Amino acid sequence: MIGSKKNLPFSVRVRRELVEPENEKISVVRQCQLLGINRTGIYYRGKPQSVKDGNLMRLIDEQYTRTPFYGYRRMTVYLQNLGFVVNHKRVRRLMRKLGLEAIYPKPNLSKPGGKDHLTYPYLLKGIAVEYSDHVWATDITYIRLGSGFVYLLVIMDWHSRFVIEMEVSDSLESSVFVETLKRALLNGCPEIFNSDQGSQFTAVEWLKILQENKIQISMDGRGRCFDNIFVERLWRSVKQEEVYLKEYADVWDAEESLRQYFEFYNYQRPHQSLKYQTPFEAYQKGQKIEQNKGEKTAILDKQFTP
């Protein structure tokens, strides 16, 4: 859970420096577990990128957040009006690289795992989510760096908008996000887990963990941008309130800064749709609601047992 490691005396960056790859007694994996960090960050190397493409991708990402209905044609006109000499072909290539599509406000960073990948129906249509841990949802978005970009995954409680877990990674390998799911489930267990149909969320290990915990699996329909609407709104908040205001030097800088932002988001930022409660306050109250419902049901069952 975001905040569960906040009592550790050192920052993520300092804890990474404590890892000893040459240590023969304790493996790197175990060291990372003890220090509460992701081992992929130990091996990260920045990816060089064309400065011009980097600037354009930055502008495209910012404008897309404001106007997700822009396709590559409108985006090309927007960039040309700023004075850039670009054509439709280049803008389309960069938007594909970012996984952006017009009218589809979700960055499509999770590509389907092929014709045979497992998919599940969307279970949330018409459902009233009235308590915490009823539904969790997850998604991945692009986060820009000073040079290059990384990916951010969050796991969120739908009822309270509370961010249960997050991970920053320089790759879309499913193993990184499987570890994030495992960490999230140490702090709670939803009845339904919703995601898109990307390869990360249809991977055998990801689905196996959900099934072992008896969690119902729900997946967004193709091209249906509002199936995961609360995470979509979260991306706008993260980018407008954090990412666009910062200049991350590398993946470690991005991870540390984003973790600080989610601490603020979860525990200090009043949420208008939650009647100005913080997500954590709403999450706690939502757990009590479910607990009270369970107690009332138990009493009724006892009263009417023949």
pLDDT at 2: 63
pLDDT at 109: 58
pLDDT at 306: 42
Tokens standing for residue 30: 């175990």
Pairing of strands 135-144, 192-195: parallel
pLDDT digits (tens, 9 = 90+) for 141-178: 889 887 778 999 999 999 999 999 999 998 888 889 99
The residue to which tokens 């509460």 are assigned: 36
pLDDT at 299: 41
Provide the 3-class DSSP secondary structure of residue 141. Answer: strand
Phi-psi bin for 20: left (phi > 0), alpha (psi -120 to 50), beta?
beta
pLDDT digits (tens, 9 = 90+) for 46-65: 554 444 788 888 889 888 88
Buried b (16+ CB within 10 A) or exposed e, 120-142: beebbeeeebebbbbbbbbbbbb
Kindly report the pTM of this predicted structure.
0.69
pLDDT at 104: 44
User: Whole-angstrom Cα distance, residue 196 to residue 161?
Assistant: 18
User: Whole-angstrom Cα distance, residue 83 to residue 102?
Assistant: 22
For 135-283, CATH number?
3.30.420.10
Q: What is the pLDDT along the chain (306 residues), one digit of tens a residue?
A: 665 554 555 677 677 777 877 777 788 778 787 777 776 666 655 554 444 788 888 889 888 888 877 888 999 999 999 888 999 999 999 988 877 776 444 455 555 555 556 789 999 988 899 999 999 999 998 898 877 789 999 999 999 999 999 999 988 888 899 999 999 999 999 999 999 888 889 999 999 999 999 999 999 875 455 567 888 889 889 998 999 888 898 899 999 999 999 999 999 999 988 899 999 999 999 987 777 765 554 443 444 444
How many Cα atoms occupy the beta-carbon half-sphere of 105 within 13 Å? 17
